[in-house]
Every structure is written in C-alpha cells, then in structure tokens.
Chain A
Amino acid sequence: MPLTEKDVRYVAELAHLDLTDEEIRKFQPQLDAILGYMQKLNQLDTTQVEPMAQVIAPGGVSLPLRPDRIHESLPQEVALANAPEAGAGHFKVPSVIERE
C-alpha cells in the first residue's frame, strides 16, 4: 500500500514539523520509496530467526547494572548553560497549557 500525503501530514505532526503543501508533495514519494525499499527485507524468510532488538544475541550478555550510589551532579549553571532561555534556576519555555 503506497504511503499517502495524509500519512506524511500525520508523521510530520507527530514530529512537530510544520511542512508546506509543497514540501508534503515532495516528501511523499521520497518516504514511499524508502519504505518500499524496506519491503525488500520482508521477502526474506525469517521464520527460523528469533526477533531481536539488539545486535547482542539473546542469552549472550545480560544487561549491565549499576549499584544505587549517588554521583556528583552538574552545577546548576552548567545544567542551564545550553538553555535558550533560563530564569530563577529553571529552564524557561513558552507557556504550556493543557486545559481546554
């Protein structure tokens, strides 16, 4: 099933991207081509292969764990150094309102 312009709008919205109609028309065939290429992988018979999310085979290595010890944190001014806007020791962002 080919990817539609509607799909592109949806994905753009999820990624918080403001795309113009022109861009959407441009990206639709590009995205469709990429996904179409991935379809090639589906042609492989993987019925004998256990699904995996990591390159380390299941059962090989277990997740490394950390003891519950406190390390030193960054000083506040360092933590805030990259903030486009900061104030009163906080990151400042355009006001977020969840209510209707």
Chain B
Amino acid sequence: MSLAAEVRTQYEVVIGLEVHVQLLTQSKIFCGCSTRFGDPANTHTCPVCLGLPGALPALNREAVTMAMKAALALNCGINPRSRFARKNYFYPDLPKGYQISQYDEPLAEDGWLEIELNGAPKQIGVTRVHLEEDAGKSLHEGFPDSDRASYIDLNRSGVPLIEIVTEPDLRSPEEAYEFLTRLKTMMLYLEVSDCNMEEGSLRCDANISVRRAGVSEFGTKTEVKNLNSFRFLQRALAYEAERQIKVLEGGGEITQETRLWDSREQRTHGMRSKEFAHDYRYFPEPDLLPLTITEEWKEEARRSMPELPAARKQRFMREYALTDYDADQLTHSKALASYYEEVVKQGPDPKLAANWILSELMHLLNDAKKDITESTVTPRNLAELLTLIAQGKTSGKMGKEILAEMFASSRRAEEVMAEKGLRQIDDVEMIAAAAREVIAANPRQVEQYRNGKTATFGWFVGQVMKATRGQANPQRVQEVLKKELA
C-alpha cells in the first residue's frame, strides 16, 4: 500500500482534531458520585448519573473552573454566558438517551496553541472549548457470553469532560501528533487532567481530508475514531491520508463517513453509515439555566493557573542560560522541569545540571522504564554528585558510574564514590609518583618525546591514567607530565 513519493507531494493533507479531556474533579459534573477510576463496576452511581426519571442535574463549580483554566491556557475568550444542550442519541452506555453537552453557546471560543516542528513555530487555531458529561463504558469482549451480550459499567457516566476542537490548521500526521503532545503537556501543567490515554482520560478523534496542492477549497473529509494512543493517531492519519489520495488518483470520490482505526490490521474501516446517524437534535437543556461567568470567577481561574510551558521555557533560557533545545526538553514535562529546578537550587552549574539530567539521568530512567517522578536519585543527591564533579573530586566519566550505582541503590554520591574507589586522584604527589614510574619504564618513548615527537605526550597521559586505574585528574596528569618530561 505504498504510494509513489511524487504523487504524495502533489497533495496537501488537512487535519482538525477533536480532543476529549477528562477533568480531575473529585465528583462528577452533575452529581456527587466519585470520579475514581478502576473501582468495581457500577459502584459510583446515583439517580442522576443512572438517568432515573425525575433526577435533576446540579453543576459542579470546580469542573467549570478547571475548564476555564484549560480554555485560558489555550488563549480562548470565555463567554460571559454559555448554555448546556442535550445531544440526543441512543447507545446502551448513555442511560438518559442524551448527553448533556454544549452546542451553540460553548464556554469558550477562538483560541490557539503554538506547536513547533523542525524548529518552526506555528499557531494552531482552537475553535472552541466546551463542557460535557462522559458516557458509561461498554465492554464488548472478555465475558463468557460476549458473543451475544455487551456489558455496561456506568461509573464513568457523568464524569466531567472538556471537548477541545481545533481549526483545520494541521497539515500532517506529525503536526497532529505534536499538537496533541503540547496539549497534553499543557493540561498536565494545569493539573486539570491526568491525560492518561489508557484509562481514557484523553481521547482524540480526527477529521482529515486531502486536496491537490494549490487548491483552496477543502476536500471531502472523513472522521477517524478509536485513536487511543499517540502512536495510533499518527499511524491512522498517515494511513487515511494515503487511502484518500489513492481513491482520488484512481478517479474515485471520498465518501464523508466515520472510520475506525483497527490497530491489529493497521488500517481504517468504514463504520456502517446511516445518513441520519448524525442527527442529534440538539436543544437547550431545560434542567439547567444558562451558565453565567462573572469577571471575578474568570480572574479566580486565571490566578490559580501555574506558569505555563512556554513561559517556563523562556525563563529557563533567561535565568539558567540554557539553549532553546535544552529548555524545551526540560519543560516538556512539569515534573521534569520541577526536578531540574530542585537540582539547580542546591547550587550546581545550571548548564551542567541540564546536561546530566537530559542525558545520563534520562537514559537510566528510560532503560528502567521509569518516569522522573519515580527517580531513585533525588534532586539533592544529583546536585551533590554534580558538585563533586565541579570540585574535581571525581571525574565526569567516573561520575556516570557513580550515578548508575546511585540509581540502582538509592544511595548518596559521596558514599558510592568512597565505596567504589571512584574518587578522583587530585594529589600532585601521587600523580607525580605514577608519572615517574611510567617514565622510568619507557626510556625509548621518553627519548622520542625529548627529540621533538610531541605526539607521544598523549600516550604518556594514557599510561598514567591506566596506572591510576582512570582515577587521576587528567588535567593534573598533563601538568605533572609536562614538568616531569621537560
């Protein structure tokens, strides 16, 4: 299913995303049931989220505040008045037969998020951010009678969601991936969601179309669903773009439809489409009055926002003289950025700290499949190691060994250094003694050196390092050798 590169370059891919983010409130959006994930099925329900007749919704104030924080971070304008609406459709995990969502009067509109791909920044428009309730969970597999029955768990029914809709501004699957990554980082910074894709707290659908380069109108789009990992998103979109180009190249037409990504077969499937499947007959939710957002409430949300990734990156470059790349890498995760600042607070050189965290520590964490929050090396201990290196008590090379041991055993740098004999020999007398031994044992090389073959110098340094089992301070070795060989 490969397409000639020159055919592909004749087309432009246009992508817009719809992202659902579960908010981290304690209780559901319209009732006081717990939002906790992973508990026994149907133990967090009440008449409201079961959709029992007569039950009335009461809006959770915190869900609105969190949604506002997300919207403000995405540079959206908050509407002073918004409204809830009923989206009507039948599905077993939707007990009321409608979802309470927002339609023509959303909470927030007209924002943007900046992405960066290959060093070029680009603003992606955010059409709207609105509040809605989640549906329950349908389980189609895993039970003895799954061939004839679906199982429904309503614990998730009524968990607050925000839906973030982008403009069709994304031009490649890579840009879509980058957007979602930045969006996730933002939500994690704001602490409004844990964005755990496996648990469904971040979900993404994509609208995608292709058009011949230079054509201004959009092509017919398809909606791709079931993109439940970042990797799937990129693969599914790449697959779908190629599929559409092939259809068009073959003289066919794209059918506007919903397609599901099948990760096992690595392809998208058209869903059985009924023309009226999208007639949701929205109407204003009669059980909820319009939502009024006062200036004070909006300011309260704004004040509770932390420093956002872009601002933190700029500050890191300014305060710690980091490169754009290092600052970007460090601020990509809030936890990593905070770890870095904890290390720097203890005194070591900020650049040295950035290098060690981004290369050595990340390497160890990746190998152990751990997150920075699970690091066995505390910021204080890493700072201690960096100080030992800066003071010349150990070398960079030995430092790596010490760090690996610290990581494995959660011990302090000094302790590991002493125990493993990884202390750097800085004592001029000790180094001179080793140098003299090397010189005495190699009269031929000494002769060559003194006759002007200065390249031999490096060989002497190597020999002294070897004699000290790599522990000598190379700087000192050079100084001593220069004197001894003169």
Contact = CB atoms under 8 A, between A and B. Distances in A.
Interface stretch (B33-41, B315-323, B395-403, B455-463): B33-41
B64 A65 contact: yes
A91 B154 contact: yes
Contact of A74 (B46, B61, B292): B46
A13 B277 CA distance: 10
A1 interface: no
A74 B45 contact: yes
A41 interface: no
A100 B60 contact: no
B64 A76 contact: no
Interface residues of B, number: 59
Interface string B28-56: 00011110000011111111001000000
A95 B148 contact: yes
Given A68-B61, A74-B46, A88-B143, A93 B32 contact: no
B146 to A, nearest CB: 7
B91 interface: yes
A53 B284 contact: yes
Ranked 6 nearest A-B pairs via Cβ: A71-B32, A53-B284, A68-B62, A90-B151, A91-B152, A65-B61
Nearest to A16: B90
A67 B90 contact: no
Given A61-B289, A63-B289, 10 more contacts: A14-B279, A53-B284, A63-B288, A64-B59, A68-B25, A74-B50, A76-B40, A79-B42, A93-B152, A100-B272
Contacts of B145: 87
A38 to B, nearest CB: 15
Interface string A47-71: 0000001101010011111111111
Interface string B272-314: 1000100101011110111110000000000000000000000
Contact of A65 (B25, B59, B83, B283): B59
Q: Is the interface of B mostly helix, strand, loop or mixed?
A: loop
B269 A99 contact: yes
B396 to A, nearest CB: 50
Contacts of B281: 14
A91 B92 contact: yes
Contacts of A75: 43
Given A69-B32, A89-B40, A53 B286 contact: yes
A67 B154 CA distance: 22
B257 to A, nearest CB: 10
B348 to A, nearest CB: 41
B34 A87 contact: no
A90 B152 contact: yes
Contacts of A79: 42-43, 45, 50, 154
Residue of B25, B281, B292 most packed against chain A (CB within 10 A) = B292
Nearest to B270: A100
A73 B34 contact: yes
A62 B289 contact: yes
Residue of B45, B148, B272, B284 most packed against chain A (CB within 10 A) = B45
Nearest to B279: A14
B147 interface: yes
28 contacts: A10-B276, A14-B281, A62-B289, A63-B289, A63-B290, A68-B61, A70-B32, A70-B33, A71-B27, A71-B32, A71-B33, A73-B43, A73-B45, A73-B46, A74-B47, A75-B43, A76-B40, A79-B42, A87-B149, A89-B41, A90-B153, A91-B151, A91-B153, A92-B150, A93-B150, A94-B149, A98-B260, A98-B271
Contact of A63 (B26, B40, B59, B283): B59
Given A68-B27, A69-B26, A73-B34, A92 B151 contact: yes
Contacts of A61: 289
A80 interface: yes
Contacts of B271: 98-100
A68 B26 contact: yes
A13 B276 contact: yes
Given A16-B90, A63-B292, A70-B32, A76 B41 contact: yes
Interface in B64-110: 64, 83, 88, 90-92
A13 to B, nearest CB: 7
Contact of B42 (A67, A69, A80): A80
